[in-house]
Structure 1
Amino acid sequence: MLRITLSAEPSAGAWGEKALLSYQEDGAVIHYSGDYPLRRVQQAARRLQSQGAEQINLEGSGWSYERQWAFYCGFAATMKPVELKWASVDEDELELLNARRRCSEWVRQVVNATPEDMYPEKLANDAIEFLSSIAGDKISHEILIGDQLLDKGWIGTHSVGRASSRPPVMLTLDFNPTGDPDAPVSACLVGKGITFDSGGYSLKSSAGMVSMKCDMGGAATVTAALGYAIEQGLRQRVTLILCCAENMVAGNAYKLGDVLTYKNGLTVEVVNTDAEGRLVLADGLIAAGETKAPLIIDAATLTGAAMMAVGTDYNALFGLDRALLQHAQQLSELVNEPAWPLPLEKWHQANCPSHYADTANSRTQKGGGMGGASNAAAFLSRFVDTESSRWIHFDLAACFRDSADSRWAAGATGLGVANIAALLL
């Protein structure tokens, strides 16, 4: 295994004093001094991976938990597991690193899978299998498939997914470590699970569609977050709701101009079939409200507008509870998963008007027009009882890379998992 050590001193000699790496006979040294040392460690790991290193042994002093995790993030590959031996750390840190790695690798596995292999029912079953492997008989679940969704009133998920040959699915999973079937639900997680998004009749371009296997990143993130929180000792009851569908084009697809009547009585005019994520999340948020959970967290790869606002290094946060937003941002800094609040007020709900329904699902301008991310979050807020529950929405701008860069391999990053797990804890 390649031996990797750390140095707080600049590189000397032929490598140049600004070099990230200097090389020795049996390995390499990462020179992390300077601005943003964790980014430097991650960049060095990515460089080693791109140079063909496959087996790494972290050795020597200076390998804090945060630096080891930054190295893992850079060294992780798109499609295959990597061999990485942690530096000597205390037993609790080692346990935490391994748990976080297992959850991150599960996210990569399901998000990076081809859309042919990862479809709604497979995503739901993989989530059940993953969480059951962690929590055993503390997990129970219900799956609704195809027209069963209509029987229960879940019109959004059914409408988005009905054109696919592989039916839409809603998974409701209960983690109850108390053993009391009447124990209150302390939090509810809701994830957007669009396993492939063609855009529907608002058809995406090839360039816009090619990476749309990542559109179930929200479902993967909240599932892994629950797993990571359980691994860290979560003792409260939590419900997980995944709204899973393929947004396809066919003769029975939902259409622009359709009006959907949701279980809470709200009517929605479809003016963009590519604004489908909010339509399925609306079902999940209504279902979350039925649990009476005091905390509701949803996560989705929801808008390109969020990426335009914060880039791909941050996730965007939205909510009407300023204290909860501030808390989530503080936790994001603690776990080194940057997140930033964007504007959301009740009046944003009026920014997608309709002549035919209570609201439209977007606006007809490209990307939903100005303030598209805030307007999408406001649409979601209509389906949350914010008087009874604290609610926060993660627009996961940072959870996927279309191509490799200086710090990340192409594909899923796992950013958001630890942040949401910390909120649960």
Structure 2
Amino acid sequence: MTDLMQVTLTQDAPAAHWGKANVTFQNNVASIHIKAGDIQRQVQQAARKLQSQGVSAVALEGELWTVDSQWAFAQGFATAQIKPKIQWTGDDASKKLLNDRLESASFARDLINETPENLSPMALATRAANWLSEIGGDKVSYRIIEGEELLEHQWIGIHAVGRGSERPPALLEVDFNPLAADADVSVALVGKGITFDSGGYSIKSSEGMLGMKCDMGGASTVTAALGLAIKSGLNKRVKLFLCCAENLISGHAYKLGDILTYKNGVTVEVVNTDAEGRLVLADGLQAASETGAPLIIDAATLTGAAFMAVGTNYNAIFSPQAEVLALAQQKAIAAGERVWPLPLDPWHMDNCPSPYADTANSRAMKGGGAGGASNAAGFLWRFVTPEANWLHIDLASAFSDAGDSLWAAGGTTHGVLTIAGLLEG
């Protein structure tokens, strides 16, 4: 790279004429002034400032940089239109790790920021499968079940949500197996891949619909996490399921009052067509359960309730197993990401009652009523085998509508490193 601005970290206070500025400049060097506390947050905020001032390419210099602080810089420096141009510092192993992270995060970010017109359900499934195949070579195999074929496999939820669109829904199944052909599956990943969410007949407002290209954030997050883990030498069998559909309105669209009978026999009354993510994930979680994997992880931009509960800088996590929550928190902290557990008890499975079916897909009130994120997790719990440990991640921090002091507008990829860490063990 040429014309790089050098960026250093310093623990010195800025000169008096800079006031309280946390970034100062001298010639072609920008200095980020860090203080005791959350250094990664300080660095990410400084990177946002540099990027917003038109800096497009940097070389990180100096002894204070760590892998974590360099990665925080990259996250703040990225935008929806520009892949960060960063010359890393440190040894070769650190540089490879950071390059692998950046490639994986950029793949996820590009998918999330893609226009809904360009990213149909089949395009999402195909791009994810091709990218993982490029990384894993002959250790990766996949199949895509598309359109009416979904009904032959009893994937009722994906078909119902996606049938209103002219572009067919799809379930992608990827098998990464670096071991013997009959090796057990260690982890199964499930991602919500709603490539555009109008809300269906429970239609969203224009303001609420504008950012709904991000509703496949779960699919991009688990795909990027698996790709990163493979790059890091993952040596266990993992299956990935992406539940891909467009939630649109037409004469073929599913309707309020419909009852879906799932493969495991659970009947679901549709009381809100905008609570579609849990309907497609129900299929993916059943497919994941069929693998016999002892750990199932799903990720989804699922509820506004999680966003209201934990804000934009955390992802909400749920599990019936306390040890799974603890492990997820440990992996997130190690990766410099943030998760926070929300309640999930057996009675949450019954918090969306229906007089016509075993359960409804929500409650017939704005936002699904109190405890909406936990009730959604309770709904999903019905479709997870009791034999597996299960982690549900509600990606409150996967997308920034307008940008803030930490993230540019668009996909953040916050959550990729946590899931990759869980895969690596």
**TM-score class, shorter:** over 0.9
Structure 1 length normalisation: TM-score? 0.98
Corresponding residue number in structure 2 for 1:4: 7
Match of 1:111 in 2: 112
Q: Which residue of 2 aligns with 1:38?
A: 40
2:95 matches 1:131: no
- Aligned residues of 2:74 and 2:84 also touching (Cα < 8 A): no
**How many residues are matched?**
421
Could you tell me how far apart the structure 1 residues matched to 2:166 and 2:176 are?
31
Shift of 1:35: 3.0
Q: Give the match for residue 224 of structure 1.
A: 224
Which of 60, 63, 66 is residue 65 of structure 2 equivalent to? 63
How much does 1:82 deviate?
Answer: 2.6
Higher alpha-carbon deviation: 196-205 or 3-12: 3-12
Distance in 1 separating the partners of 2:103 and 2:168: 29
Q: Distance in 1 between matches of 2:101 and 2:402?
A: 23
Cα deviation 1:112-171 (Å, max 9, x = unaligned):
000000110000011011111211111101101100000110000000000101000000
Question: How do 1:276-315 and structure 2 match up within 5 A?
Answer: 276-315=276-315
Asked if the contact 1:10–1:19 (Cα under 8 Å) also holds between the matched residues in 2, the reply is no
User: Which 4+ runs in 1 deviate beyond 6 A?
Assistant: none
> Identity over the aligned pairs, expressed in percent?
58
- Secondary structure of the residue aligned to 1:186 is strand
Residue in structure 2 matched with residue 23 of structure 1 by the alignment: 25
Residue of structure 2 equivalent to 1:376: 376
Q: Aligned ranges for residues 21-420 of structure 1 at < 5 Å?
A: 21-87=23-89, 89-178=90-179, 180-386=180-386, 388-420=387-419
Q: How many angstroms apart in 2 are the aligned matches of 1:208 and 1:202? A: 12
In the alignment, structure 2 segments of 5+ residues that lack a partner are none
Tell me which amino acid in the other structure corresponds to 2:166: S
Give the 3-state SS of the residue equivalent to 1:202 in structure 2. Answer: coil
Q: Does the 8 Å contact 2:164/2:254 carry over to 1?
A: yes
The CA RMSD over aligned residues, in Å, is 0.8
The code of the aligned residue for 2:397 comes to A
CA deviations 1:171-202 (Å, max 9, x no partner) are 00100011x22111011000000000000000
Contact 2:40/2:336 (8 A) holds in 1: no
2:6 & 2:389 partners in 1: Cα distance?
47
Task: Return the letter of the residue paired with 2:22.
Answer: L
CA contact (8 A) 1:32 1:38 kept: no
CA distance in 1, matches of 2:81, 2:109: 8
Deviation, structure 1 residue 421: 0.8
Matched, 1:422 2:421: yes
Residues of 1 paired with 2:55 and 2:75: CA distance?
14
Q: For each residue in 1:186-227, what CA deviation from the matched residue of structure 2 results, as whole angstroms up to 9, or x when unmatched?
A: 110000000000000000000000000000000000000101
CA distance in 1 between counterparts of 2:23 and 2:160 reads: 53
Please tell me the residue identity of whatever aligns with 1:221: T
What whole-Å deviation, never above 9, does each CA across 1:61-86 have from its counterpart, x for those lacking one?
A: 21111111111111111122231111
Residues 10-55 of structure 1, C-alpha deviation per residue, up to 9 Å, x if partnerless? Answer: 1113102x32111101121100114322111111110000000011
Deviations 1:371-414 (A, max 9, x none): 0000000000000012x100010000011100111111100111
Opposite residue 415 of structure 2, the aligned amino acid is G
Residue pair 1:5, 1:58 contacting (<8 A) in 2 also:
yes
Letter in 1 for 2:309: A
Residues 312-336 of structure 1: per-residue CA shift (max 9 Å, x gap) = 1000000100111111011111101
Q: Could you tell me how far apart the structure 2 residues matched to 1:343 and 1:60 are?
A: 44
